[in-house]
Amino acid sequence: MTRLRLGFIPLNDAAAMIVAHARGFFAAEGLEVELVREVSWATMRDKVGVGALDGAHMLAPAALAITLGVSGIGATPLVAPLALSLEGPAITLSARLAAALGPGPGAEGLARLLAWRREEGASPITLAVVFPFSTHNYLLRDWLARAGVDPDRDVRMTVAPPSRMTELLAGGVVEGFCVTEPWASVAVTAGAGLIAARAGQLWPRAPDKVFAVAEAWAHARPDVLQALLRALLRAAAWTEAEENRQELVAILARPEHVGADPQVIARSLGDIVFHAGGANRPQPAHAAWLAAQMMRWGHIPVEVDIAALARRVYRPDLYAPAAAALGLAEAPELTVLSGYAPDGDFRPEDARRHAAAAAMSRVPVA
């Protein structure tokens, strides 16, 4: 048996990794896996960077940032040979803030409230995301910017672990957050918050988490990587199947896994795509979109070759042999992301232009 340590954060979209361990898919591939439950994405980043983990449940933008070396540690090139989920994040506002905005609280109502607060000399409200380099950060920023709210000027942005979001919301430390399920639904069930927008409403089939390993590790252990991918693909298919939903909820609810109330987990699984429609194929177009958001907000240099970065990190060539070994139909490559840009569709070859043209872009005018 090949021994491996894989890290995950307690979220619904870690399901494929959790199921692969709990249902024996790793073991069937000759892998003895230790699943390491981490609390924060910063810890995950650091452990992957120093090799304390062989692979990890990873925020897609974090994989890009770590590869570039802009995430607080030296550059550690990563590869993402598998997407673990699409959609899943939700923007949640505190119940008190939602009440102040009235029925159907949206970004436009929030913009009006923030303008009034500025006129009254009130301090900015605080909103939380799970990590600076996360789909959640860029989703929340885009949602705000579309309504004319500058996320770096009109609100305070802070970082908190996903599992602490409800506590911070209920305690008035933050007035809203963007997090992946089940933690948005936990806040709603507790009466602390109201979901204002889901990822799919802004970015259809929005990319979120990937399975990532160090590029050097992938090159050194190709057979082990393929075994991992086969196990994860089997687990993703099992997770997606409706007939397994009750058992999936029980597995995720265990304290060593997600550790949330089973009924809340059951209600919060509906918007996450684990496998259907070729969801596990890493799409470089998704990576290019996220890198464009990073450039838009000044989080990566404008000189970065987004297309090259996307194809270095997102590796469908590593995914393909594992999918073929399981007889899975080949998922087509996305060349256009429809409905992503308010001014039209997103094309990876135009990533820098999109970053510069987006609302409130920090990209200097050429």
- Which two tokens mark 152? 């770096």
Residue ranges of domains in the chain: 2-85+207-357, 89-202
Class assignment of domain 2-85+207-357?
alpha beta
Q: What is the mean pLDDT of each run of 10 residues along the chain (366 residues)?
A: 96 98 98 96 93 97 97 90 96 93 81 91 95 98 96 97 95 97 97 95 94 98 98 98 98 98 96 96 98 98 97 98 96 93 86 94 86
How many Cβ atoms are within 10 Å of 209's Cβ, its own excluded? 32
pTM, two decimals, is 0.96
How many angstroms separate the Cα of 12 from the Cα of each of 15, 38, 187, 259, 334? Answer: 6, 14, 15, 10, 25
CATH of segment(s) 89-202: 3.40.190.10
pLDDT at 114: 92
Q: Would the CA dihedral through 261, 262, 264, 265 be positive or negative?
A: positive
Query: Rounded to the nearest 5°, which phi and psi values hold at 93?
Result: -110, 150
Nearest residue to 7 (alpha-carbon basis) of 265, 312, 211: 211
Distance, in Å, from the CA atom of 182 to the CA atom of 266, rounded to the nearest integer, reads 9
Distance, in Å, from the CA atom of 265 to the CA atom of 177, rounded to the nearest integer, reads 18
Beta-bridge partner residues of 6: 35, 55
Sole residue written with tokens 């290019």: 288
Distance, in Å, from the CA atom of 82 to the CA atom of 77, rounded to the nearest integer, reads 16
pLDDT at 71: 87
Distance, in Å, from the CA atom of 43 to the CA atom of 41, rounded to the nearest integer, reads 5
Same fold, 2-85+207-357 and 89-202: yes
pLDDT at 73: 76
pLDDT at 218: 98
